[in-house]
Amino acid sequence: MFCDQCEQTAHTSGCVDRGVCGKSPVVESLQKILLYALKGMAAYKAHARRLGQTNAEVEAFIEEALFATMTNVNFDAEALLEMCLECGRMNLEVMRMLNDGHIECFGEPAPTTVVEGLQRGPGILVTGHDIMDLHQILEQVAANPAAVAAGLKVYTHGELLPAHMYAKLRAHPQLAGHYGGAWQKQRREFDRFAGPIVATTNCVLIPNASNGYLGRLWTLRQTGVPGSQRVVDADFGPVIEQAIALGSLVPEGEAEQLRETATGHHYTAVLAQAPAILDAVRGGQLRHFFLIGGCDGAEIGRNYYSDFAQGAPQDSVIMTLGCGKYRIRDHDYGEVAGLPRLLDLGQCNDSYGALQIAMALADALDCGVNDLPLTLVISWFEQKAVAVLLTLLHLGVQGIRLGPKLPAFVHPEVLQILVDRYGIQPIGTDGRADVEAVLAAS
């Protein structure tokens, strides 16, 4: 790895041993963690700003934190760790802003049933995270007489599944349902979708040479794929025209293959059930809570999360969020004490809601968050997940199980600090065995 402090090539023991810049691998690792988290937080902040939410303190912190990673500024590992934790505090505020902005713009969230699969008629698929883009597409489709006459439908993909929980979006008759899973399956799923695809944020893949959807892929603002079409000034008219011209997603004579799924267990909806939840906990009917989710990836090892969720006992509740939900949601978990055992809290940024649930339960049970019968089993992959992890550490959450493997930018000595101070531990190789270990220790 190139050292941006002294312009030397990769080193194993640090430039301090070379007598050049004094930058150690631990310092370099903490700087990388901070930079990745800042990128993730900036993505959340960009979404929040589009919803009218800004915060001058957060903006000032981003400047200061980037300044701290410049050449010859900070060689103090402890000071950089403190800044990482401060980044976690700032990210908590950004996630709150984003949560509030979604509710103010799109209405009260509520659990809802979503139709999955492709229906007859032309369609547009919207992928990514930006709910404002989805809203604008729906508004423009509804205002287009040709689109209405053609029966043009709009589908969510990936992390936009939770958008269905907002009242103003559900009110759009053009919001037909959801299609597809997590980001790593895009190439196969987008090939099968016969209409235009709008990529609103990160987690978009470059098509392979064998894929046939590049001419139907549209990007905008920060997103970009070589050869894709561009949406300019939020004008989705050309996307709508292409969708109408391409015709029905389901060919004549072919059957629609549809199913229904539940989503939208926003923390406000869960807390509305707090009396029943507390009664179940105090009465021994509800023994444990698991938060299983985060950022998904393509590794085979991520099947661990499916095994862990399916191994959770019937007297437990499983909360999930982020695209990691796609590892665990295709299973019938049933109910416990009259409540769904699987609660889809939303997007990765809805980690804020999971924290609100945990803190409310702790207050009601007169204990600390770390004293709750709660286990966090988190999958991480990219920058937003790093920002959320720092938020959890800022709040002092202990015992997080993290996987499926250690990112290259986390130095072993930095990991040891997190293990010693926060009890972070890697996931095992057997999800069901780890469930038993968690319950035995609780």
26, 74 in Cβ contact below 8 A?
A: no
Q: How far apart are the C-alpha atoms of 48 and 42, rounded to whole Å?
A: 10
382 is in an annotated binding site: yes
Q: How far apart are the C-alpha atoms of 246 and 243, rounded to whole Å?
A: 5
348 is in an annotated binding site: yes
348, 321 in Cβ contact below 8 A?
A: yes
Q: How far apart are the C-alpha atoms of 185 and 188, rounded to whole Å?
A: 6
Tokens of 309: 């969720």
CB-facing half-sphere around the CA of 187: CA atoms within 13 A: 9
367 is in an annotated binding site: no
Question: Nearest to residue 218, comparing CAs of 346, 207, 66?
Answer: 207
Chain mean position to CA 434: 24
Q: How far apart are the C-alpha atoms of 297 and 183, rounded to whole Å?
A: 8
Look at the alpha carbons of 405, 411, 417, 422 in this order and tell me if their dihedral is positive or negative. Answer: negative
CB-facing half-sphere around the CA of 197: CA atoms within 13 A: 31
Which run of H or E residues covers position 70?
Answer: none
Beta strands in 117-237 (DSSP E): 123-127, 153-156, 175-178, 197-199, 217-219, 229-230
84 is in an annotated binding site: no
Q: How far apart are the C-alpha atoms of 134 and 195, rounded to whole Å?
A: 16
87 is in an annotated binding site: no
Q: How far apart are the C-alpha atoms of 434 and 307, rounded to whole Å?
A: 10
**Mapping DSSP to helix (H, G, I), strand (E, B) and coil, where does residue 74 land?**
coil
102 is in an annotated binding site: no
89, 119 in Cβ contact below 8 A?
A: no
Binding residues for [4Fe-4S] cluster: 3, 6, 15, 21
Binding residues: 3, 6, 15, 21, 129, 159, 203, 295, 323, 348, 382, 384
Binding residues for hybrid [4Fe-2O-2S] cluster: 129, 159, 203, 295, 323, 348, 382, 384
